[in-house]
Amino acid sequence: MLNIIYCELLKLKKSYIIPVAVIGGMFMSILFGLASLVFKENMQTFEQYSSNLEIPNILVLYTILFSLIAGFVFSREFTDRTSSVIYACSISRIKIFIGKLITIDMLISLVYLAKVISIYFSYYILNHTLPESTFTIIYLKYNIYSLIAQFLIIPIPILVTNMSKNLVLPVIYGIVGTIVTMIASGKMFRINDYVPLVAPYKFIMKTYIPNLIDLNHSVISGILCFIISMTICIYQYSKDDIV
């Protein structure tokens, strides 16, 4: 199992995906840091700064970025014509699938890590202070919950990739998911709480709005989404023909 994960990480070394993950994590803090420097708005608290930064991050950037990562890790076997090599290894397909899933989860964690470090670093450069430790603990706790919620919804783009064997459709799924997340993060419809794509956003917002109470819906819908889409994914992946 460890060998498979190591081999997946080795395959990533030649591609652009690791710089893309690091840049995707740091892009928003660089942009906001530059904006604060230009407009001399550096008299803001850490809560304001980080919430201004997290909302566009999680609503616009991350759905597409993560479906791009998931799409690349799975579809490169088809576009580089290496699928006949990897399925000829004497390892069951489910193990290969789980190895790829763990690789994607590691890349998502890398994006979150880059985000947290760059937020603290840019805030320290701008204001020469750091937030107090109690807020930091809450912030890190809800970031980890949000990361786990991202893990729960990642099988959907994997399924789209395996069905289409291409990188184009996962990106389209990412755009659709972004618009769905933006609509469902409001309060327009009653069904909004049950959309699993909003779960990472809800967990991040719990840091800034502690009275947000409907996290139960997010947890239940996220876990249901994981179980259902994972079942379909493993079924499709183990029954699929090699081309």
Please identify which residue in 168, 209, 212, 242 interacts with another protein, judged by CB under 8 A.
168
Sole window of 86-94, 134-142, 182-190, 219-227 interacting with another protein (rule: CB under 8 A): 182-190
22 binds another protein (CB under 8 A): no
Find out whether 202 and 186 touch, Cβ atoms under 8 Å.
no
Residue 197: half-sphere exposure toward Cβ, Cα within 13 Å: 26
d(Cα 243, Cα 240) in Å, to the nearest integer? 9
Q: Judged by CB under 8 A, which of 9, 18, 171, 220 binds another protein?
A: 171
Please tell me whether residue 66 binds another protein under the rule CB under 8 A.
no
- From 138, 169, 215, 232, residue interacting with another protein (rule: CB under 8 A): 169
**In this complex, which beta carbon is closest to another protein, that of residue 143 or of residue 178?**
178
Q: What is the dihedral of CA 91, 96, 99, 103, to 10 degrees?
A: 140
Alpha helices, DSSP H, located in the chain: 2-13, 17-39, 46-56, 62-79, 83-86, 93-127, 133-153, 155-164, 168-184, 199-208, 215-239
Stretch that binds another protein, among 11-19, 123-131, 144-152, 215-223 (CB under 8 A): 11-19
- Identify the three-state secondary structure at position 196: helix
CB nearer another protein, residue 57 or residue 146: 57
- Binding positions for another protein, rule: CB under 8 A: 15-17, 20, 23-24, 27-28, 31, 35, 56, 60-61, 64-65, 68, 72, 79-80, 164, 166-169, 171-172, 175-176, 178-179, 183, 188-189
